[in-house]
Amino acid sequence: MSTRIALVTGANRGLGLEFVRRLLARGDRVLAACRHPGKAGDLNLLAGRHPGRLHVLPLDVADETSRSAFIGELALVLDDDPRIDLLVNNAGVLHSGERWGQVRETALDDSFQTNAIGPFLLTQSLASRIADHGRVAFLSSVMGSIGTRREFRSPSYCASKAALDMLAMQVAHALAPRGIAVAVLHPGWAQTDMGGAGADVTAADSVAGLLRQIDAADASLPLQLRDWRGETIAW
């Protein structure tokens, strides 16, 4: 059996870095993408420990030029095996502290580009490389669930995650004929730089659960938003 190849965006810290650790631990070859590889100390340490199995590449998912350059560099890295078995769209941004009457257009634009538009366009560009019967995961959030919102809170983040959910649904329909399963996942309130130390689930437990949901994804079944434990969340 050939080695699985996984691509993780936003891989320099938090859940992305934990994905890299766990994918390496299970024997996968990992392509780790982040905006500033030179500043990704933990990621580069891992690359030193796993020569030939972990490749760190620059990518700003919100920037078209960066995405295009990434696709070109990916072709060089994968020249011996062009397929991708798992794509984890993890990169995201949260503009905290937004208040009614003070929400900025720049925050909305950045959120939609990073959290929704970029991941969709990246997946579209990589579609021909994703192996038949492979997996595509989108890290969404319960905060993007329209059915569960009960307060004004982080509108740029919430709206961009809701948009991501719909774009992920479109990807699922587009890739289903090839047996490629799509997973849309809420990682829980995780102990990362974004979630804070007071969050109620560790990054390790969150990612372990997320990987179980990704592995269980089935292209023949209706797409649902699920959390890291497998519980269904209203769209």
CA 143 – CA 189 distance, rounded (Å): 10
| pLDDT computed for residue 197 by the predictor | 74
What is the CATH classification number for the domain harbouring 212? 3.40.50.720
Number of domains in the chain: 1
DSSP state of 192: S
| pLDDT computed for residue 191 by the predictor | 84
| pLDDT computed for residue 1 by the predictor | 57
Which domain, by its residues, includes 179?
5-233
What's the Cα-to-Cα distance from 94 to each of 42, 87, 110, 194, rounded to whole Å? Answer: 22, 22, 9, 7
**For the chain, which residues score pLDDT lower than 70?**
1
| pLDDT computed for residue 126 by the predictor | 97
What's the Cα-to-Cα distance from 98 to each of 95, 109, 153, 158, rounded to whole Å? Answer: 7, 14, 7, 11
For 175-232, how does the pLDDT look when each residue is reduced to its tens digit (9 = 90+)?
999 999 999 999 998 888 777 777 788 999 999 999 999 999 999 999 999 999 999 9
